[in-house]
Copies of this chain bind each other. A is one copy, B any other.
């Protein structure tokens, strides 16, 4: 991709002393690869510096800290994922279709970039968990919006959030599991997941709108 033109640009400064912006891009690019190869804990700043062909303080001057670097690198992934799902959802009309489209987009994305994706998940707390959580929050918000508009006005916000988390979790787990069972297709899994989730979602959405229309006491599942 942009990697080639980057190295091309870099070649122009073969005598060391690369401009700050360019060096920064190089660091980010190399860091991305490194995080994917080794995961967050396994990636060392020393090795990053070595790969970039520079010493550590330069790296720290450019990106601040390992966490910040990780955040910055993975923010790109987040944006791509969000965009990918958003466009996939946009072309569908009713809730179930949108749900399935979104799930399919997610599955395809994480499959395509599975190395990057598992690197992203390879922290999950301690250090860079904040960023992972941010991605999940954004993801959940997206799902929540999908449910809300798809259901024609939502239940209370908390319920909505919880539902979004549930949907998110279901999809993410299946995506992860899928990596160990690649004989299945994204489509079949998207089918399965939407068959699992859509009925409940629709029912809950209906119940909530019905409740707002005629406020009967809600029944609970036994």
Selected from B136, B173, B197, the residue in CB contact (under 8 A) with A200 is: B197
In the complex, chain A residues 15-57 whose Cβ is within 8 Å of any chain B Cβ: 39-42
Most buried by B among A124, A168, A191: A124
Asked if A84 is at the interface of the complex by the 8 Å CB criterion, the answer is no
A170, B126: Cα distance in complex, Å = 23
Selected from B39, B161, B171, B192, the residue in CB contact (under 8 A) with A126 is: B39
Contacting pair B191 A220 (CB below 8 A): yes
A97, B121: Cα distance in complex, Å = 33
Known: A39-B126, A199-B199. A162 touches B174 (CB 8 A): yes
Asked if A184 is at the interface of the complex by the 8 Å CB criterion, the answer is yes
In the complex, chain A residues 78-120 whose Cβ is within 8 Å of any chain B Cβ: 96-97, 100, 118
Contacting pair B169 A194 (CB below 8 A): no
A42 surroundings in chain B (CB, below 8 A): 126
Contacting pair B123 A125 (CB below 8 A): yes
Contacting pair B221 A198 (CB below 8 A): yes
In the complex, chain A residues 188-202 whose Cβ is within 8 Å of any chain B Cβ: 189, 191-201
A91, B165: Cα distance in complex, Å = 28
Number of interface residues of A (CB under 8 A): 56
Asked if A204 is at the interface of the complex by the 8 Å CB criterion, the answer is yes
Known: A123-B125, A124-B122, A124-B124. A158 touches B184 (CB 8 A): yes
Can you give 28 contacting A-B residue pairs, CB < 8 Å?
A: A39-B126, A41-B126, A42-B126, A122-B124, A122-B126, A122-B129, A123-B125, A136-B173, A159-B192, A162-B192, A163-B196, A165-B173, A166-B196, A166-B197, A167-B170, A168-B169, A168-B173, A169-B171, A170-B173, A192-B204, A195-B200, A195-B203, A195-B204, A196-B204, A197-B197, A198-B200, A198-B221, A200-B200
List A residues at the B interface (Cβ < 8 Å): 39-42, 96-97, 100, 118, 121-127, 129, 136, 140, 158-159, 161-163, 165-174, 176-178, 181, 183-184, 189, 191-201, 203-204, 220-222
